[in-house]
Structure 1
């Protein structure tokens, strides 16, 4: 890539029957300075653009660089659908198409054909209905790259990482082990330094139980697992607060004490983040050998085909990806 070339950002459209394709064409209509490469079915994008009333110019991707991208211009790495989409009605026959787009994005990033990948939402149930065990983008990219990863959602005001992701609530406690918690905190700490530029990150760690266990009266996970891990890592120089009660950790008076929060499970902290900044929150995967950002919402099947879906979160995800690429280029991590 020459010095003036725009970063090549891979875009995946997610569920063909959801809002993802419409979000992609709306993102392409912005003036963001990126060489967007949509990895999906070209005809799917044409139909999405027509539904949205967006003028778009689709060009087959030749792998080359560009210095300028006119708004509405979008390169496409064509991966055909198996069955034409019906907005709002996912078709399991297209599961392999969706998985192929993710594989191309991940492999392309690892081969440095793309600077980062930005993903639109997919329908996990449709992929599972096709007979393919699937729990989400995060887990797919982790397996594809053989990496240990952590899910983080970030807005301009708040960053929240998760110790566990898409698990039933009754499986969370047993999934939080000393080894897994230590590994998660090491990844979050390292990525806050390398991706976000915090020299000495401050991480607030939530307790699992109400009131962080109330000294063992409302559960012993804090005493038996969380506190010993925090003490060990503090001795190694990490700045770790907690375990904190989740019901007070996010009040404004507390937030200036930390740079990120580690929550124990998906719904412990994400409702706070999304209620405050739903259209400005970005999902990113820490620990991957490449940059991946995403929207913070689902496929919105009820809106699919209407042309009314709000692209704000995808635009925020693309902006964050560009910021992270720029930082990586200016401050490359030692190999």
Structure 2
């Protein structure tokens, strides 16, 4: 490893297994001291392995790294403060926050309950806000810091049965952009990564058709360890000029994703009526309307 994070302190939420664990271990290997946060719940949010964070801390220590465990909840203000507080108490500073914690409650929209909506929004979006807010005061005081938020192509592009997850993940993009704008004067950066990696967050993908089965087999080749180097880079001084961006990491590919900008315009000097819009808009805008695609429709080729 390059030691690109030597002397830095990172917080990784949802780091007890899968992608979060790979990121925590990767950051530690690059020289960072790591707060490994995980409440030890299942994919849907039920208690499963309360010692998950401790297990990752032990693995990092065995590899010669430095880490401390946190089992506080990202969805509560007190929990977020405790997570960041663990970094300050144990290591005396905080330089990088990786908002990775998340759960899934997939269901078709007309059957989605308020509880399913709230649970996903609270962990993904509210949790990212609360942990970022807790760290922001320290970043401002020390004149620097980096946020890396996990978004998803499900939010950026689309997917079936994930309206709650899509809303949360696209909301995280807005949160990241807002942080980047508000805190750039303090030397603070904020970016998003949409990771392609086989982990429990994608293990729930339906495999009802042969095409879905083929897709899942491809995903299994994309290990979460492939994402960690991008997180380490964004947390390092080498990325000092990179903020407010969205990246995707897929096996050996790194993508810079587009962000919303005007595509086409119509002007009518006397203003518009519903009838005149009906007459002109479909023809003028039709060829450039964004199609209703899933992530798999856009990233439809084999990873390299």
Q: Shorter-chain-normalised TM-score: which range?
A: 0.3 to 0.5
Q: Return the TM-score normalized by structure 1.
A: 0.34
Q: Which has the higher contact order (CA 8 A, sep 6+)?
A: 1
**Structure holding more helix per residue:** 2
Q: Return the TM-score normalized by structure 2.
A: 0.37
